[in-house]
Amino acid sequence: MLSSVRTRLTSTLLAITIATVLSACSGGDSQPKSGGMPPPEVTVTTVKAADVPRVFEYVGQVAGYRDVEVRARVGGILQKRLYTEGKAVKQGDALFLIDPEQLTAAVDQAKGQLAVEQARLTRAKQEHDRVLPLFAENAVSQKDRDDAVTALESAQASVAAARAKLREADINRSYSRVTAPISGMTSKEVVSEGSLLSPNSLLTVISQTDPIYVNFSMADNDALRFRKLIQEGVLVAPEGGKFDIELRLADGSQYQRIGRMNFTDNIIDPTTGTLRARAEFANPEAELLPGQFVRVFMKGAIQKNAILIPQRAVLSTAQGTIVFIVNEQGKAEPRPIQVGEEIERNFVVLSGLKGGERLIVDGAMKSRPGQPVKPIELAAAPATSASPAKQP
């Protein structure tokens, strides 16, 4: 922002000077009238085309790898919360205790019913074993034989049903102790101790935070342009689209672990006009928490044969954006250019400059079109290291 403000202020101060320069260039002798004045010193850098790592910046929000709702599976009075809200729990840890008295009574009732059915089965089997030999000797009728067989089968089915009922009662009683289905961070309890629960009542939510997701979105026009640049070969994406992702936290610190993009939607969200994306991070120390906002830096793209120039070398005029170069005769020459994205304190030049030309970085105010200048090489070339770009 500071660099943009500085550029606008510079443009305002230079607008009159440039207009005077251009009118002087077109209306008279380009050489200074005072022949004794030495050429002004200007700082220059040689324009170079190079492959530039690109970084794209977005706003992201942390989300749990899995968010699981913990619900009551049986009804009853919530007796006790067994965990500390907001703390980490492991899979299988006890979270809540539901009053087990009614569930225990259901187990006892099921046991009693099973005992009744087993006694009935015993009598039916005894009758069956008595009648079948008699039927073989024609001592009882076919009906007596069929009744004995039917009674035995019915008793066997009743015992099986009673056992299933007991198994169900045992399972329900075990549900009185609500355990964590996954390891993760707990949230606040939804209902308080002493509340009457019904089956499926929501108790809390557990978020798995290692690994953890970071969701972010890019504007649809940025996404379309990004794809177009890749198709044209101007921008080269990492193999398989596996971008490295870095995070900056709300306090300005850098998250020390590198993430990897693992999802890009193929549908533009019609409500926001954005394309959703997601990255995955290791989070063993629980430094990232679900719901946290972060700055996302997507790394791995390379812009081929890019020309970067310092922002302070670019001037905005009524005729458009220009820079000054030192031509082969050692004179200052204005050059209209077209600039693209901003990368730190540099602009990407889309047209107007080519490799090998000498660009005036500082001292443009002291030079006039066609006037000889004394070029001094800039100590350091424009930065071409990976740096955030506002948009693709």
Of 220, 213, 208, 218, which is closest to residue 181 (Cα–Cα)? 208
Q: What is the mean pLDDT of the chain?
A: 86
Number of domains in the chain: 3
Q: Quick check: is 185 in a domain?
A: no
Q: How far is residue 39's CA from residue 35's CA, in Å, rounded to a whole number?
A: 10
- Per-residue pLDDT tens for 211-252? 999 999 999 888 888 888 888 888 898 887 789 999 999 999
Q: Quick check: is 81 in a domain?
A: no
Q: Quick check: is 253 in a domain?
A: yes
Residue ending a domain, among 149, 175, 201, is: 175
Do both 331 and 269 map to the same domain?
Answer: no
Q: Quick check: is 121 in a domain?
A: yes
Residue burial 247-275, b: 16+ Cβ < 10 Å; e: rest: bbeeeeeebebebebeeeeeebeeeeebb
Residue written as token pair 């954005």: 274
The DSSP secondary-structure symbol of 240 reads G
- Per-residue pLDDT tens for 182-205? 999 999 999 999 999 999 999 999
- What is the residue range of 288's domain? 55-65+209-300
Say if residues 316 and 65 touch (Cβ distance below 8 Å): no
Q: How far is residue 113's CA from residue 165's CA, in Å, rounded to a whole number?
A: 9
Residue 84 phi, psi dihedral angles, 5° rounding: -95, 120
Q: Quick check: is 110 in a domain?
A: yes
Do both 138 and 218 map to the same domain?
Answer: no
392 residues of the chain, pLDDT tens digit each: 434 434 443 444 444 344 444 444 444 444 444 456 788 889 999 999 888 888 889 999 999 999 999 999 999 999 999 999 989 899 999 999 999 999 999 999 999 999 999 999 999 999 999 999 999 999 999 999 999 999 999 999 999 999 999 999 999 999 999 999 999 999 999 999 999 999 999 999 999 999 999 999 999 888 888 888 888 888 898 887 789 999 999 999 999 999 999 998 888 888 889 999 999 999 998 899 989 999 999 999 998 888 999 999 999 888 889 999 999 999 999 999 998 878 778 888 988 998 899 999 998 888 788 889 999 988 754 444 444 544 44
Q: How far is residue 233's CA from residue 241's CA, in Å, rounded to a whole number?
A: 15
Q: How far is residue 321's CA from residue 309's CA, in Å, rounded to a whole number?
A: 13
Q: Which DSSP string corresponds to 134-187?
A: HHHTT-S-HHHHHHHHHHHHHHHHHHHHHHHHHHHHHHHHHTTEEE-SS-EEE-
Do both 295 and 315 map to the same domain?
Answer: no
Q: Quick check: is 352 in a domain?
A: yes
